[in-house]
Amino acid sequence: MPVGAQAWSGGDFPPAYRRILDPFVARGAAASVTTRIRLGTSVVVVPYHDPILLAKQCSTVYYLSGGRFLLGIGVGYVQKEIENHGVPFKIRYSLMRDKMRAVLTIWLNEIASYEGQYVKYFKCNRSPNPSSSHDRPSGSADHYGERSERHH
pLDDT digit string (tens) for 103-143?
Answer: 999 988 889 999 999 999 999 887 776 554 445 454 455 55
Tens of pLDDT along 54-89? 999 999 999 999 999 999 999 998 888 899 999 999
| pLDDT score recorded for residue 32 | 96
| pLDDT score recorded for residue 134 | 46
pLDDT class for 1, splitting at 50, 70, 90?
A: low
| pLDDT score recorded for residue 52 | 94
| pLDDT score recorded for residue 70 | 93
Q: Tell me the mean pLDDT in the region 17-37.
A: 92
Average pLDDT over all residues of the chain: 84
> Is residue 91's pLDDT more than 90?
yes
pTM: 0.82
**CB-based contacts of 79-87 (< 8 A; 24+ apart in sequence):** 80/2, 80/4, 80/5, 81/1, 81/2, 81/5, 81/45, 82/45, 82/47, 82/48, 84/2, 85/47, 85/48, 87/47, 87/48
